[in-house]
Every structure is written in structure tokens, then in C-alpha cells.
Amino acid sequence: MAVDTSYYLILSAAVFCTGLFGILTRRNALLFLMSVELMLNAANINLVAFSQYYGNLTGQVFALFTMALAAAEVAVGIGIILVLYRNFEDVDVAEAATMRW
């Protein structure tokens, strides 16, 4: 009756690889941030899938914590992108090659 766990894993792999594709091929920092979020959410899908696989709710509760930390991470990431834009007047990640400028 329940959906087989391997389908969830394939969905998770697809989302993860979409994020990886974005990180490897794009240079826009905002798209970078979106891609990182996709990879994070792929991990969340795995947590919930294995929670259902083992019949244990720990994975689902842990996924909630991951979401909260992802939100905080996005706030920091957007802050960094804002500074990047202010200093380089661009959000191209290849422009900022050094930690100091």
C-alpha cells in the first residue's frame, strides 16, 4: 500500500542533482543560493522517506530542524549577496575571487 522507499530516494537524487547542476553551471549568486536550497531539501526528502521506512518519527522531527536552519542560512546567504552586489555591482560569483577586497 505504501509507496516504495526507492521512489522517494530517486526523487531525492533528482532534486539533489538539479541543485548540483545549478551550482556547477551557473555563475549568478542568487541561483547558487537556490541550488543549495534544492540540495538541502533533497536531504530532507531522504530524512522523511527513511522515517516512513523505519516507522520512526525521529527523521520527520529532524527534518523540521533542518528547515529552520535552512531559513537562517538563506538569511546569511542573502546578506552576503547584498554585500557582493554593493562592492562589485554584480552578483557574479567569479568576480569575488578573494576573501578581502
**Residues in the site for another protein, rule: CB under 8 A?**
1-6, 9-10, 13-14, 16-18, 20-21, 24-25, 52-58, 60-62, 64-65, 68-69, 72, 79
Q: Rounded to whole angstroms, how far apart are CA atoms 45 and 7?
A: 11
Going 54 to 56 to 57 to 61, the CA torsion angle's sign is negative
Phi-psi region of 2 (alpha: psi -120 to 50; beta: other; left: phi over 0): beta
Cβ proximity to another protein, 9 vs 81, nearer residue = 9
| Residue closer to another protein, measured from CB, 18 or 28 | 18
What's the closest the beta carbon of residue 96 comes to another protein, in angstroms?
20
AA identity, residue 55: G
Closest approach, Cβ 71 to another protein, in A, equals 9
